[in-house]
Amino acid sequence: MKEIVFKILLFLILLLSLYTNIFSQDYWLRVPSPTPQSLTRGFFVDSVYGWAAGDSGTIISTTNGGLNWNVQNTGIKNYFIDDVFFLNPTTGWALSNDYLFNGTFVLKTTSGGAEWSISHFTDTTVIISTIYFTDPLNGYTSGFSGKMFKTSNGGVNWNECMLDTTGCPYLAGFPKLRIKFINSTTGYTCGGQYDIQGVIWKTTDAGLSWQTHCVTPEPLFDIRILNSGNIIACGGDFEFGAITTSSFDNAFSWDYHNTGIFGVAKDLAFRTDREVWMPLAFAQTWAVNIDINNPEEHWRVVPAPDTTAVYSAVFKSQTFGYAFGTNGAIMKYNTAIIGITPGGSIIPSSNSLEQNYPNPFNPSTIINYKLAKAEFVKISLYDITGKLIKVFIEGNRPTGFNRFRFENFGLASGVYIYKIDAGSFSESKKMLLIK
């Protein structure tokens, strides 16, 4: 009986510790959400009108810069909204798929989403998951089937585009996951297949034909055209982690870069013309680069609020940014951080060790820590009596936010102490394992 009471007291003490050591939410703050459904695509036309879409036919919208969000009636109940795109505050499209029986649903609105019309995509043999319009008449779509389609009448009819396989034989038909245009004639799409290839396609004739470029060993999930000659794409996989590839000569050559960070980069969100944030989905972190144009600048890991899996992010200015993730998560970029100003660095002013999360945990938990400068890091695990159990060598870790995932390796339930040593910095905290 005494042992049970003791465990309950330990649980309450550590639970209190969790709430008093608030998990890092420095840069993104959770705001109220009108839905519990996961949100995987976000889109803003300006700093006033925005939308986010995701599970169970969910599309939410704001007409006041994110102060309030409302659920829209899409007419879709059982399927994901795979993409959402708006030309202006009133005219937009969305895509949803019934992979077994009904194919792709194309949703269109001319009322900002107050009302949506639904039609079936004309080619029922393909799965369409990304859509982009350059004007009310001319639009482009593609997806897992790999075919590219163009409309010249606002989506009434879609015609298949030609794929030039010269630059990447046999792989032109790989899935295409995101489309972007720099003007009415020049555009890019990115995609690929896990464990095989990341591919970029380019058009210079308004989408009639697309040149194929094999550029990375991992698929690419987003692409951004920074200017006429500078393009960047991001992606990754479970084995290699988050990656980027860049071109500075109009897609004639590409530089591949592995960030060395666990996770898959699903989106490119530029806060400034140099500072970019990439949500890493299931890894529950961000990869951040404060000077993407500087090849010497390292990527940094920033924890997501409440260990949320973040899938989409949008910045419309240095101080206006929103991100979206699992369980209806809506996160607003925090511009009121002490010591951080727009355009400033995200380098912590001192080293620190965060409380693990979740806590109590089973079977794994996350330990976050901040480094004011690059250090050699080790994390030691002790039992409640102070006996050393195991040492985890993190090695040389970069400046900024870092993350260590602790996996239970057969330990019994109880209280344990984890300690970090980074240069001259040392700190320890307690955590509770419950089976």
pLDDT of residue 172: 80
Q: Is the pLDDT of residue 338 over 60?
A: no
Per-residue pLDDT band at 341 (split at 50, 70, 90): very low
Q: What is the mean pLDDT of the chain?
A: 87
pLDDT of residue 14: 41
What's the helix, strand, coil split of the chain in %, to 5? Answer: 5, 45, 45
Angle at 298 between CA 354 and CA 28, to 5 degrees: 45
pLDDT of residue 346: 57
Per-residue pLDDT band at 400 (split at 50, 70, 90): confident
Q: Structure pTM?
A: 0.74
Name the token pair of 115: 């009302």
**Mean local confidence (pLDDT), 157-172:** 86
Other Cβ atoms less than 10 A from the Cβ of 316: the count is: 15
By the 8 A CB rule, do 203 and 150 touch?
A: no
Model confidence pLDDT, tens digit, residues 165-182 = 887 877 888 999 999 999
Model confidence pLDDT, tens digit, residues 298-313 = 888 888 887 789 999 9
Least confident interval from 233-237, 333-337, 404-408: 333-337
- DSSP code per residue over 5-48: HHHHHHHHHHHHHHHHSPPP-SSEEEE--S--S-EEEEEESSSS
Burial class (CB in 10 A: 0-12, 13-18, 19+), 375: buried
Per-residue pLDDT band at 21 (split at 50, 70, 90): very low
Model confidence pLDDT, tens digit, residues 184-223 = 999 999 999 988 899 999 999 999 999 999 999 999 999 9
Q: Is the pLDDT of residue 24 over 60?
A: no
pLDDT of residue 347: 61
Name the token pair of 137: 């008449």
pLDDT of residue 5: 41
Phi, psi of 17 (to 5 degrees): -60, -35
**Mean local confidence (pLDDT), 425-432:** 92
Q: Cα separation of 8 and 172, whole Å? A: 59
Per-residue pLDDT band at 48 (split at 50, 70, 90): very high
pLDDT of residue 204: 95
Q: Is the pLDDT of residue 1 over 80?
A: no
Per-residue pLDDT band at 231 (split at 50, 70, 90): very high
Angle at 15 between CA 391 and CA 430, to 5 degrees: 20
Residues 6+ apart with CB under 8 A from 100: none
**Mean local confidence (pLDDT), 320-333:** 95
Comparing 83 with 341, the larger pLDDT belongs to 83
Model confidence pLDDT, tens digit, residues 238-295 = 877 899 999 988 888 899 999 888 899 999 999 988 899 999 998 888 999 888 887 7
Model confidence pLDDT, tens digit, residues 342-370 = 344 456 778 889 888 788 888 888 888 88
Q: Cα separation of 234 and 219, whole Å? A: 8
